[in-house]
Every structure is written in C-alpha cells, then in structure tokens.
Amino acid sequence: MPQSNTRSSRSCNSCSSTGTYACASNLERNSSILNVREKRSLPSEMIVMRHSERVDDVFNGWTKKAIKDGVYSPYDLNMPPSLPIKRPIENYSLDTPITVNGQVLAKMIGRGLFVLKKVPDVIYCSPSLRCLQTAHAVKTLSQSKAKLRVEPALFENPHLYRAMPTLATKEERAQFEVDERYQPLIRLKDLFAKEERIKSYNSRLKDVLLRIAATTEPSPDTTKPLTVLVVGHASTVDLAVGVLNPKQRQTTTDDLHRIGDRIPYCSTVLFRRQSSYWEPIPDALPPVTYRNFTNRVLHEFVYRTNE
C-alpha cells in the first residue's frame, strides 16, 4: 500500500510511560539479573523486518463492507475469520490487522529463523496491530522465549495520518505476549503532538535503532550471537539500512513514495556487528517466493547511496 496516502482518526489512546533503554525498568526484575556477576552482551545480530500483508491493502473499504447487521462478516477467505481485538470496527481503519495469508507469511519467516538458528533473543516492534501480529507470529514459530517490547519510536512517519490512530490497549495486546514492564523511548501521543518532517523521522529512527544496538542484554551463553528482531514498517527497513550501514544515508520524501513496492511484506535485512559498524548481510536469510510475489527487498533501492 503506498505510504503517501493520508489517513484520519477520531480518537486516540495513551501509551505506557517513557524511559531510557538502560533504565532499571527495562531490565529483568529479578535478583539474578541485577546481580553484578550476571553475564550481559551487546547484540551481535539485528534483523529488521516489515510487517506482513495488511487487510486494507487487499480489501479496500473492508471496514464498511464486512459489517452485516452490526456483526463482522468476512466476505473473502483471506480476511481474518474473526477480528483479533474486540473494539469498534472503525478503529481498524487506521490500525488494520493482517490477512490470513499474512499470518502464514509471518509464520514462514519465524520457521526460517528457527531452522537457521537465528531465534530472536530480544524482540522490538512498532505499536501498530499489524506489527504486533507479525512479531508474535514470528516469535511463536521461531520458538523464541522473548516477550515483545512495544516501541512507539518505531512507528511510521505520522504525516501519513491526520490524527493519532487508536491502537491496542495493554489489555487488548496481552494476547501477543507483550512485555509491559518495558518502558519505551517515547509515547505515541508525544509523537503526534507536533508535525514531524522527514529529517526528524530519520533522526528518530536513527536514535531508536542505535539505542537498541547499544543495549546490553542477559546472555547466559556468550558463545551464541545475541540476536535482536525489530518489526516495523517498510520505511523502518529502509531507514535501518541507511543508519546501520558504514556509509550512512538519509531517506527522503521521494524515497517513501511507493516504498511498499520496494520493500514488500515481511522483507528482512540482517545486520552483523563489526568492530565499529553494522554490516548488512543481504543473503543471510532466504526469501519467500511464490507466483507474483517475493518478500525480497529491491536491492538497488535499499542499498543505494546519497551520492
């Protein structure tokens, strides 16, 4: 779905209080973690991926067409048989779920991570429902023990919205095994409090990704690479390559036009930590391919330079 579309909303919700990545609330709250002898490591690998197929991209106007006598009635087998959260359906117009095929695709990514021994030790995701669903599907099929750290700083550029969308509450997102003790870098309502231009969007994503990369985590087995998974939007993947690449580059407004075509659903890029930078490993994770679709990123776009 083109990211240049404008969206609107009539209501909003608040996120949890903010904090730094190094604050105590972001560490496991038990004596073994706080013990100075505990082994901690920086992430060795970071996988940044886009969410899976969204319902509104496949079924235009679905929130109106799928209601019969006030009850959600899917009219296509690729639509969710039931809605993941009990809330007014109009709230889904700005916070869409993923399709049935989207669930399958996300699970394929999770299975692939398990087979490749890239099981995420830590998982961050944007607060969008489609990102929560994608991250949880990957977590489940990869057999990761990590709880989801919901980070509003990973939310896509807010100029796509006329107002803040209504997102899942703590109670509604409990089914996705969210770590509610985690304190995010920012609150979503603060993100929407003022206009954010493309330069600020670049800076925000750079800040959150570098903070994630610099956060030490409990690591009982120091011989195993510590792997962090970040589930966001198409622009998240593009900005990650621009930020973590040795030759950093910016993402422009023109770059965001139809970025979803260049970074398809469930696109992944794996970065490996080197001494002073993160190296993207383009072929570390095999793509998912079937007729007329691949989740492989458009290489010449993602690995472009500002020159």
Mind giving me the DSSP string for 99-137?
-HHHHHHHHHHHHHHHHTT---SEEEE-SSHHHHHHHHH
Could you tell me which residues come within 8 angstroms of residue 63 by beta carbon, excluding any fewer than 6 positions away? 56, 89, 90, 92, 93
Q: Please give the chain's pLDDT, 307 residues, in tens.
A: 444 444 444 444 444 455 555 554 555 554 444 444 678 999 999 999 999 999 999 999 999 999 999 999 999 999 999 999 999 999 999 999 999 999 999 999 999 999 999 999 999 999 999 999 999 999 999 999 999 999 999 999 988 887 789 999 999 999 999 999 999 999 988 988 888 999 999 999 999 999 999 999 998 777 788 999 999 999 999 999 999 988 889 999 999 999 999 999 999 999 999 988 899 998 899 999 999 999 999 999 999 987 6
Assign domain 24-56+96-302 to its CATH superfamily: Phosphoglycerate mutase-like (3.40.50.1240)
pTM: 0.87
Cα dihedral sign, 179-83-109-165: negative
- Cβ contact 125:49 at 8 Å: no
- Separation of alpha carbons 175 and 136, rounded Å: 9
Give burial (CB, 10 Å; 0-12/13-18/19+) of 68. Answer: exposed
Nearest to 78 by CA among 101, 44, 98, 49: 101
Neighbours of 34 (CB within 10 A): 11
- Separation of alpha carbons 211 and 126, rounded Å: 15
